[in-house]
Amino acid sequence: MSENLNEILSKSIDIVKSTGIFIKNEQKKLKFENIETKNIHDFVTYVDKTAEKQLVEQFKQILPEAGFIAEEKTETRIGAVYNWIIDPLDGTTNYIHGLLPVAISVALQKNNETVLGIVYEIGLVECFYAIKGGGAFLNGSKISVSENDKVEKSLIATGFPYYDYKRLPQFMSTLQFFMKNSHGLRRLGSAATDMAYVACGRFEAFYEYSLSPWDVAAGAIIVEEAGGKVCDFDGRNNYLFGREIIATNANIFEEFLHNVKNIMQEK
């Protein structure tokens, strides 16, 4: 089909916001016995699963031929051309403890290229979105990455690994370096939100390892369309399935990548 991405985006935002209302309303009903443990620090609730089912069923109405790469695997069919990449509730640990941020992350790929991304942070009712080549927006207003040109003047976001601790010593060294050589570090608990905040200039950079495609697909296109840079720890483009990502404004990209790459490669 000849898709109209603007129309798909508009319908998708409505779907995501509707699901966001469901997630917000369910939070007060959630009990700890409703929480399942996927790994020692990785949780899922009926809210994650129900929200994903809602998203999947409604996205099927927009693009019937599309497949899905979804965190909770409520639908696993892969499409020949189109695929939605969905995290129905990014920040589940925050959610079950009554904290923010909590976000829905949705991306659409065409022939393995991300062409649309939405990150909806439910607590502050902030909808970040982008279409390939069309710029990035927050609640209808165009956004861009910050213009800070030095890591030492930057506020940096990161996330902690849930279960893959093989690279933890090197990662801890990066924390030590940026504590000493930047405006500070923040760990919000939602990678999708971290990347959206890079896109609108609240953070200068975000980096993390042990991530999945649904954590980063939407945020990556939003950062790029806001004028930022995205790569893996080697500076290549294998961030979607390579389980590591750097997202920065354009001005500190080379310096930040150099620091992360060198420290993470230390023995």
Which residues of the chain form CATH 3.40.190.80?
151-264
pLDDT reading at 134 higher than 50: yes
**pLDDT band for position 3 (cuts 50, 70, 90):** low
pLDDT reading at 85 higher than 70: yes
Q: What is the CA radius of gyration of the chain?
A: 18
pLDDT at 1: 36
Residue type, 86: I
- % of the chain at pLDDT higher than 90: 88
| Cis status, amide bond into 213, omega within 30 of 0 | no
CA distance readout (Å), 216 to 26, 86, 116, 194, 242: 25, 10, 12, 10, 11
pLDDT reading at 16 higher than 50: yes
User: Higher confidence at residue 182 or residue 41?
Assistant: 182
Give the pairing type, strands 113-121 and 103-110.
Answer: antiparallel
Of 25, 86, 96, give the one whose Cα is nearest residue 54: 86
Fold classification of 5-143 is Fructose-1,6-Bisphosphatase; Chain A, domain 1 (3.30.540)
**pLDDT band for position 35 (cuts 50, 70, 90):** confident
C-alpha 264/C-alpha 96 separation (Å) is 32
Token representation of residue 102: 């909590």
**pLDDT band for position 22 (cuts 50, 70, 90):** very high
43 contacts 93 by C-beta, under 8 angstroms:
yes
Which residues of the chain form CATH 3.30.540.10?
5-143
Mean pLDDT, to the nearest integer, of 52-72? 97
- 67 three-class SS: strand
pLDDT reading at 155 higher than 60: yes
- Give the model confidence (pLDDT) of 184-222 as tens digits: 999 999 999 999 999 999 999 999 999 999 999 999 999
pLDDT reading at 2 higher than 50: no
* DSSP H or E stretch at residue 38: strand 35-39
Torsion angle, alpha carbons of 246, 252, 257, 263, to 10? -110
pLDDT reading at 224 higher than 60: yes
> What number does CATH give the domain 151-264?
3.40.190.80
